Structure 1
C-alpha cells in the first residue's frame, strides 16, 4: 500500500500500491524530473493512470528515459529490478541499451512502436534469461502536444511461447493416444500414449469408473463416458479436462471416436484417438486476452486510425474508398465526428485532395507494400498529417495518422535557423565544422582556416586530415567510424597542425542531428584548444612520478608568484605615490616659473640678474621633465594618442638619435615589411625610444652597435598568463638592443623601479626605464627586458595593433605668443599659483577674474559678467568638481571656451590615460609663451565653432 501520508501530499500517488509509496519516498530532486512537488500536470496524470493499472506498465521520461513504473511491472521484472526506479533506462537495462535507444528516438519524435513476442536476453534475479515479450510504446505528451516521455505496456509471453514450442514438438512426434472399446464385453484397449495422456502407469486396466474419477466434475457431461450405451455415436468430438488426483494438475484433452459395425455379426465397436490440447487451449485464451488488449489499445491510442475499403468502378478500377473501423483518436486528430465519418466515402470528407489520396492508397493496394507520406488537408484548416498505410488485402488497407502541423512549422524554422547557426558558428572562438551523415566534412568556420592558414577548398572532404598528427590518424579514424556506425556522440583528443608549423592539442566533439524520423541528417562538431590543459596534465603526471621534486618546484613557483605579486603591488604603490608627489611638485614649479618669468620682464637690461633667472628657469624645466617622468611611471601622464606607424616615427628622429648617441655608436634600424599601425602618443614614443637609446649608449663605454628593430608580434595566452593587465593578441614591437656590458640578474628585477639606476652618482635620475614602463602600461601594452652580463641588453616595447589609417601629423612652427582683450575667469585653489597666473594673463592684455573653488566660479558666472574663457584647475576642493562646474558654466554661457590646467589629472578629464574628446589641457608647469599660445588657440577654436 502507499505510504500513509503520500496520498495527502501527492494525491496522484493514491492507490499506487507499493510503487506509489516507493515513488513518494524517492529523492527525485537528483534526477532531471525534479522534486515531486514540481512535476508537471501531464507527468502526474500519466503516473496516476499507470499506478492504478493492474497491467505491467513503465514510463521512460525525457531523452535519458528516467524510469517510473507500477507494481505489476516490478513483479514481472523481478525483485532486484525495484532498484531501477529513477534510473536512466540505459543504466537500468544495459543488456538492451541499443533497443531502448531506438525506442526513445522514434517515440519522442512522435512515432509509435509495437512488438509481438519480441525475443530478448534479459538480466533476471537468477541471471541472464531468454525471454519473449509483447511491447507497446506510445508517447506521453505535454499540454502543447509535445512528446516528453514514453509509456510502455508490456506482457511477458515467454510461457506461452514455450507452450507453443512444446505443442509443436509433441505434434511432430505424433503424441496422440488411441483406444478401442467393445461394448458387448466392456473391454477397453488403449495405447501406451493414451495412458500417458491420462497420467496412468503403464499396464493400467482402464475402465469407465476410473475415467469418471479422473474427469473434471464440470466436464462429465461432455466426455461421453456415461453415454456409451446410447445409440448413435457417443464418442463424437469433444474437449474436456482431467484432474490428477495426487497433484491436482488439470489438463485439457480432445477425443474423437467413430463407430465401427461388423457386417456379419452386427456388433459395434468404437475406435478413437485422444490428444493433450492444454497448450492450445492456453494459447487460445492468451490470444483472446491479447485481442482484448489490442482493442483497449485501439480505443486509447493517441494516433488516428481507420480502415479504408476500396470502392471499384464497373471496369474494376478503384474510384473511391469507404471509411470503416475508425478509432476515437480519429476525431481527436481531425475534429471530424467519428459517427458521421464512419461508412462515408473519403471523397465526401476530403474532396479537395480526392485524386491525390486515391492514387496513393491505390498504389498501396496494387503494390502490396506499405505506404508512408505527408499530406496537407485544406478542409482541416490546411493542417499537415503524417500517414502510414498498410495493405490488408486486395481491397482494404489500414492507416495510422497523426497531426504534424507543429513539426512542419518546426522544419521551416530549422531551415531559417540554418543561417543563424552559420552566423553563430562564425562568431565562436572555437573551430566549428559540419559533416554529412556518412562522415565527410563539408563546412568549416573561419577559425579553422585562420588556424590552418589554408583556403576553404583544400580542407573539404578528407583534405582536412593533413592537419592531423600522423600518430593520431588511426585512432581518430577508428573513433569517427564507430560514431558514424552507431549514431552516437563523438569525442576524441588529437593534435592539429597550426599555420606556423606547431601542433597543438585539441578535443574534438561531434553530435548527430536527426530528422523527425530519427535519421541522421548532419553531424555538427567542434575543436577546442586544450594545449594548456595537456601541458598541465603533463605537469601533473610528472608530479606523480617524482612528488618530492615537484613539491619543491611548486614551492619555488609559488614563491616566484608571490614575489611577482609583491613587485606588482609595490610598483602600483610607487605609481600612486609618485603621481601625488608630481602634482604638488608641479604646483610649486608653476609658482616658481611664473614668478621668474614676471621677474625677467621687470629687471629689464640687468644682464647678470638675467643670467641667474635663465639658470633658474632651466632648473624649473628639468624639474618639469622629472615630474613628467614620475607621472609617466605612475600612469598619470595625460596622453594624446594618434594612429601612427612606428617605422615613419623612428625614421623621423633618426638624425636626432645619431647626434645624441655620438659617432662611437653604430646605429642599425631593422624594419619588417607590412608593419602594422598602433595607437599611441607620438611624443611619448619618441621619449621612450630616446631613453632606451641613451641607456644603451651609456652601457657601451667603449662604443658598440645599437639595433632598433620594428616588427609585428603575436602575444598568445601562454605568454600573457603571468601578466594580469596584458591581453593576448596582435602588437607592434619596438626593440632596442645594445652590445654593452649587460645587467646582472639581481639588478635586472629592479630596473623599472623609479630612481633605481646603475649609473654613477650624479649621472642619472633612475626614471628613464620607469617612464617607459608606465607609458607601456598606460597605452595597453607591455615592456620586457632581456640581459646577460657581457652579452648586452634588449628592451622590447609592445604596443597594441590598430587597424585604422595613420593620422596625419602637421608639425607647423608655433607663431609668436600674443595676448588679447577677452575676459578670462581663473579658478585655482592654490593662492600662489592663482596670483602668478592672473598676473601673466593681465600682462598679455586680458581682463582677468579669479575664483578659489568651483562654487565661487559659478557664482561669478551667475552674476551676469561677460566671460569668454574659463581657465580652471582640474583638482580643487569642494563637493562640486571642476568638470561638472565647466559643464554647468557652458549651460549658462553656451559660447564659453574652457581650458583645464593641472599637474595631476586623477581621471577627472582623462579616460584610460587619454584626454576625453574635445577637452583642452595645459599641463603645469607652463611658460608664459605656452600659456599665451594655448589661451589664444582655445579662444580661436571656440569662435570657429560659434561661426564667428
Structure 2
C-alpha cells in the first residue's frame, strides 16, 4: 500500500468506529446501514483525495534530501504552510552546505603542501593543485592500480617503495602515519622531491572506514641545504685532516674543542687527551702562559671591533718536554654570546735555524771579504819577507848576533803567515787541497801529537768507528782544526779531565742537512770532539765562531781558532755545531762529506837538499814586488825566466812562439782572465804543459777538485820559502807525462796496496 492509501485508511478508521458505535447504540437497520455505508463511501473518497494531496509533498522532500546529500541545489516544493516552511529550511541548509563545500575546496586547493583524499575504494576524490603538479593525477584516479607517471622511493633515494607500503595504502588499512620520509621521482626532466608525509584514515560516526587523507610537506630545499652543509663540513674536515699545519679549535676560555691529527704529531698529545683541556696548559711553557692569555684577550677585543685575525710566533713545548718554535694564525667566530677560536699552528723551528744560519753566513761573508782582502796583501808582503830572510840568514850565519835577529824576523813572518791562514780559513778563501782522507788514521796522528803536549792531567780517549767512511777534505787543515779544538778543550779543563775523539757515519736527509748546516744531503762522516770541562755560557755560545772573539785574557789568544775551524769546515762543504752546558762540558761535531774510493796517503815532505834546474819558466804575477822577488829566486836556482804581469802579457809571449817548460802563475789576477783560466787556455793546445799555481787568496777562482786528465795541478800557497819553491818546481818538472798530459805509469809495487790493507784491517792486539 502506497502512502496515499495508508493516509486514506488512517482517516477512515475513526469514521467507521463512530458509525459502529452509533449502530450498536440505536440498533442496526437497513436504512441506517445504507446511511452508514454512504457515509463511509464519502469518507473514503475524501480520505483518498486528501491522501493524494499530502503524498506529493513528502516525495519531493525525500528527493530534496537525497540531492542535498550529494551536494546539489534543493528545489522548493509546494504544499501547505508547514510543508513550505520545511522546504525553505532544506533549501537554506543546501545553500549553506554548498558555500561551505566551496570554501573547503578553495582552502584545500590553496594549501602549498600536496593534499590527497581517497574513498574506501582507494579512488581519489580530492586532490589539490600541489598534489596534481607532483603526481599528475586527478579525482577518480585509483591509488592502488592506476598507471603512475612517478615512483616513490624510501629515504635512502635508491630503494623503490612498493605500492602496498605507501602512506595512502597504509592509511586505507587503518594505520596512522606520522612524519614518514620518502622521495618522489617524477618523469625526467623533473627533479626528485623530498617529502615528509602524514596520513590518517577517515571513519564515520559508527567507526566504519570511509577513506583516507594524506598531507605531504616538501622538504627538498631543507634537504639540499642540509646536504650542502654536510658536504661543507666534510670538506672543512678534509682540509683540516690533510693540511700541513696543525688545527686547534678552542672556546673563548681556551678549552680545546677540536684537535687535528697534525696537532697530535706536533705536540704529542692525542685528540682524546686534548679535547676538554686548556690548551695553554698543554703546549705553552709555564713562563709564557700569562702572556698567552693576555694575547687572546686582546685578540677577542679586536675581533669584537671587526678585527680579521692575528698571526704571531711563540715557543711551544712538546709532551716529552722539548721545546720548539711555532707560528700561530688565529681567527674568531661568534657563537651565541661567546667565541670560537680557530688556530692553525706551524712548526717553524727549522726555518728559524735556517734564517739564523743565513744571518750568520751573511755576517761571515762580510767579515770574510774584509779579512780576505787584508790577508791577500799580507801574504804578498810575507812572501817577500819569508823568502828573503833565508838569504839574509845565510849571509849572517857567521855573526851570531845578526843570525839571532834574522831568526826573530823569520819567526815573526811565520806567525804572520799563520795569522793570515786563520783569517783566510774563517773567510773560506784559503786554497784547499782536498783529498780522500782516512780520518781515523789522521785522528791517531793527532792523538800521538797531543799526548805529548796536553799534559798528564788530560786523558785522551778515542771511540773510532772501524767502518768509518773516508772523508773528502784537506788533510792538513783538518788536522790543524782538530788540534785547535783539543787545545780549547784543555783550556776548559784547568783541573784536568777527559778529551774524547769519536767518529761515526750518518746519512742526512734534506731537513737534517739544513739543520746541521751542510751543503747538501747524503752520506757524511761525523767527528766528535768532547770534553768534560766547564762548558760555555749561553751568551757566549752564539759568538764562539766570530773572529777575534775570545773569553781568554788579553795576550792568551787571538780569537781566530774557532773561526778558522768554522771557515775551513764550511769551505769543505761540511757543517759544524756545538752543544754545551755550563758545568757539563762541550761537544763539537764536524760533518764532512763522504769521499768515494780509497784514501790517498799524504805526500811525505821531501828532506832532500834544494835543487834547481835549467828549464825555462813562464812566471805570471801581477804584484811587481812579488814578481821581482820570484824572478830573483828562480834565477838563483838556475832557471831561465819569462816574466808577465798578467794573462794578456803571458799570451803575447806564447803567441810569439817562445818556448818554455812550465807555467808558474798566480791565481787571482786582474785583467781578462785569472790564472786558472790562463792555464786552461794554454793546456787546450798543449795538454802536456806543466803548470804550478800559487796563491794566498783564491777568492773562488780555484775549484775544489781542480785538475786535468790524470793528475791535479799543484798549488804553492803564499807565503812560501825558497826551499818550498824549489822542491815544488822539481816535483812538477820531474813528473813524467805523456803527450795527453797523463802521468806515465811507474813500475808496479805492492807496497801501497799492502799499507792500505793494513790500515783498513789492523791486526788484532793480543
Q: Secondary structure at the residue paired with 2:451?
A: helix
The higher radius of gyration belongs to 2
Query: Does 2:589 align with 1:796?
Result: yes
- Stretches of structure 2 lacking an aligned partner (at least 5 in a row): 1-132, 137-152, 167-179, 193-237, 247-260, 297-311, 316-324, 328-348, 745-766
Give the whole-Å Cα distance in 1 for the aligned partners of 2:378 and 2:609.
29
Q: Is the 8 A contact 1:829 1:877 kept in 2?
A: yes
Match of 2:305 in 1: none
Match of 2:637 in 1: 844
Structure 1 residue 805: deviation in Å?
Answer: 3.7
Match of 1:920 in 2: 714
Query: Does 2:634 align with 1:903?
Result: no
Question: Which deviations, in whole Å up to 9, do the C-alpha atoms of 1:207-266 show, x marking residues without a partner?
Answer: xxxxxxxxxxxxxxxxxxxxxxxxxxxxxxxxxxxxxxxxxxxxxxxxxxxxxxxxxxxx
Gap change, CA 1:717 and 1:868, over 3 Å in 2: closer
Select 1:657's aligned residue among 450, 461, 468: 450
Q: Secondary structure at the residue paired with 1:660?
A: coil
Q: Is the 8 A contact 1:675 1:712 kept in 2?
A: yes
Q: Secondary structure at the residue paired with 1:686?
A: helix
Query: Does 2:376 align with 1:583?
Result: yes
- Stretches of structure 1 lacking an aligned partner (at least 5 in a row): 1-74, 79-92, 100-114, 134-153, 159-489, 495-504, 507-529
**1:272-287 alignment, distance < 5 Å:** none
Q: Is the 8 A contact 2:434 2:704 kept in 1?
A: no
Select 1:554's aligned residue among 313, 317, 339: 313
Gap change, CA 1:849 and 1:727, over 3 Å in 2: closer
Give the whole-Å Cα distance in 2 for the aligned partners of 1:699 and 1:783.
19
Match of 1:574 in 2: 367
Question: Which deviations, in whole Å up to 9, do the C-alpha atoms of 1:70-101 show, x marking residues without a partner?
Answer: xxxxx9999xxxxxxxxxxxxxx9998999xx
Give the whole-Å Cα distance in 1 for the aligned partners of 2:135 and 2:373.
81
Q: Is the 8 A contact 1:624 1:925 kept in 2?
A: yes
Select 1:600's aligned residue among 393, 407, 412: 393
Give the whole-Å Cα distance in 2 for the aligned partners of 1:817 and 1:944.
27
Query: Does 2:403 align with 1:644?
Result: no
Q: Secondary structure at the residue paired with 1:910?
A: coil
Q: Is the 8 A contact 1:909 1:919 kept in 2?
A: no
Gap change, CA 1:565 and 1:859, over 3 Å in 2: closer
Structure scoring higher RCO (CA < 8 A, sep ≥ 6) equals 2
Structure 1 residue 704: deviation in Å?
Answer: 2.1
Give the whole-Å Cα distance in 1 for the aligned partners of 2:154 and 2:366.
64
Match of 1:711 in 2: 504
Q: Secondary structure at the residue paired with 2:476?
A: helix
Structure 1 residue 696: deviation in Å?
Answer: 0.9
Match of 1:874 in 2: 667
Structure 1 residue 650: deviation in Å?
Answer: 1.3
Gap change, CA 1:156 and 1:574, over 3 Å in 2: closer
Normalised by the length of structure 2, the TM-score is: 0.52
Structure 1 residue 803: deviation in Å?
Answer: 5.3
Q: Is the 8 A contact 2:379 2:420 kept in 1?
A: yes
Question: Which deviations, in whole Å up to 9, do the C-alpha atoms of 1:599-625 show, x marking residues without a partner?
Answer: 334446333222221221121112112
Give the whole-Å Cα distance in 2 for the aligned partners of 1:831 and 1:155.
97
Select 1:935's aligned residue among 724, 729, 735: 729
Q: Secondary structure at the residue paired with 2:556?
A: coil
Question: Which deviations, in whole Å up to 9, do the C-alpha atoms of 1:170-208 show, x marking residues without a partner?
Answer: xxxxxxxxxxxxxxxxxxxxxxxxxxxxxxxxxxxxxxx
Match of 1:130 in 2: 184
**1:19-38 alignment, distance < 5 Å:** none
Give the whole-Å Cα distance in 2 for the aligned partners of 1:532 and 1:716.
23
Gap change, CA 1:538 and 1:936, over 3 Å in 2: farther
Match of 1:414 in 2: none
Give the whole-Å Cα distance in 2 for the aligned partners of 1:892 and 1:943.
15
Structure 1 residue 850: deviation in Å?
Answer: 0.7
Gap change, CA 1:704 and 1:491, over 3 Å in 2: same
Q: Is the 8 A contact 2:516 2:576 kept in 1?
A: no
Query: Does 2:418 align with 1:625?
Result: yes
Query: Does 2:402 align with 1:671?
Result: no
Structure 1 residue 718: deviation in Å?
Answer: 5.5
Give the whole-Å Cα distance in 2 for the aligned partners of 1:628 and 1:925.
10
Give the whole-Å Cα distance in 2 for the aligned partners of 1:918 and 1:585.
27
Give the whole-Å Cα distance in 2 for the aligned partners of 1:98 and 1:716.
52
Q: Secondary structure at the residue paired with 1:709?
A: strand
Structure 1 residue 932: deviation in Å?
Answer: 0.6
Q: Is the 8 A contact 2:396 2:402 kept in 1?
A: yes
Q: Is the 8 A contact 1:896 1:942 kept in 2?
A: no
Select 2:492's aligned residue among 691, 696, 699: 699
Structure 1 residue 821: deviation in Å?
Answer: 0.2
Gap change, CA 1:919 and 1:905, over 3 Å in 2: same
Q: Is the 8 A contact 2:481 2:565 kept in 1?
A: yes
Gap change, CA 1:755 and 1:94, over 3 Å in 2: farther
Give the whole-Å Cα distance in 1 for the aligned partners of 2:262 and 2:470.
31
Structure 1 residue 826: deviation in Å?
Answer: 0.9
Gap change, CA 1:156 and 1:906, over 3 Å in 2: closer
Give the whole-Å Cα distance in 1 for the aligned partners of 2:400 and 2:531.
45
Match of 2:95 in 1: none
**1:474-873 alignment, distance < 5 Å:** 534-535=265-266, 542=279, 548-549=291-292, 554=313, 565-603=358-396, 605-715=398-508, 719-722=512-515, 725=518, 727-802=520-595, 804-809=597-602, 811=604, 813-873=606-666
Give the whole-Å Cα distance in 2 for the aligned partners of 1:95 and 1:622.
93
Q: Is the 8 A contact 1:671 1:711 kept in 2?
A: yes
Q: Is the 8 A contact 2:432 2:704 kept in 1?
A: no
Structure 1 residue 692: deviation in Å?
Answer: 0.8
Question: Which deviations, in whole Å up to 9, do the C-alpha atoms of 1:355-375 show, x marking residues without a partner?
Answer: xxxxxxxxxxxxxxxxxxxxx
**1:114-263 alignment, distance < 5 Å:** 129-131=183-185
Structure with greater strand percent: 1
Structure 1 residue 891: deviation in Å?
Answer: 4.3
CA-based RMSD of the aligned residues comes to 4.4
Structure 1 residue 834: deviation in Å?
Answer: 0.6
Normalised by the length of structure 1, the TM-score is: 0.43
Structure 1 residue 814: deviation in Å?
Answer: 4.2
Give the whole-Å Cα distance in 2 for the aligned partners of 1:668 and 1:658.
10
Gap change, CA 1:753 and 1:77, over 3 Å in 2: farther
Give the whole-Å Cα distance in 1 for the aligned partners of 2:191 and 2:538.
85
Gap change, CA 1:571 and 1:642, over 3 Å in 2: same
Structure 1 residue 943: deviation in Å?
Answer: 4.6
How many corresponding residue pairs?
A: 455
Gap change, CA 1:944 and 1:627, over 3 Å in 2: farther
Deviates more, 1:732-741 or 1:565-574: 565-574
Structure 1 residue 881: deviation in Å?
Answer: 2.7
Structure 1 residue 937: deviation in Å?
Answer: 1.1
Q: Secondary structure at the residue paired with 2:422?
A: helix
Question: Which deviations, in whole Å up to 9, do the C-alpha atoms of 1:371-426 show, x marking residues without a partner?
Answer: xxxxxxxxxxxxxxxxxxxxxxxxxxxxxxxxxxxxxxxxxxxxxxxxxxxxxxxx
Gap change, CA 1:832 and 1:94, over 3 Å in 2: farther
Match of 2:149 in 1: none
Question: Which deviations, in whole Å up to 9, do the C-alpha atoms of 1:397-456 show, x marking residues without a partner?
Answer: xxxxxxxxxxxxxxxxxxxxxxxxxxxxxxxxxxxxxxxxxxxxxxxxxxxxxxxxxxxx
Gap change, CA 1:846 and 1:531, over 3 Å in 2: farther
Gap change, CA 1:863 and 1:711, over 3 Å in 2: same
Give the whole-Å Cα distance in 2 for the aligned partners of 1:563 and 1:805.
37
Structure 1 residue 731: deviation in Å?
Answer: 2.9
Structure 1 residue 716: deviation in Å?
Answer: 5.5
Give the whole-Å Cα distance in 2 for the aligned partners of 1:845 and 1:97.
105
Deviates more, 1:925-934 or 1:535-544: 535-544
Match of 2:764 in 1: none
Give the whole-Å Cα distance in 2 for the aligned partners of 1:707 and 1:732.
16
Structure 1 residue 583: deviation in Å?
Answer: 1.3
Q: Secondary structure at the residue paired with 1:772?
A: helix
Structure 1 residue 661: deviation in Å?
Answer: 1.0
Q: Is the 8 A contact 1:598 1:840 kept in 2?
A: no
Give the whole-Å Cα distance in 2 for the aligned partners of 1:772 and 1:689.
8
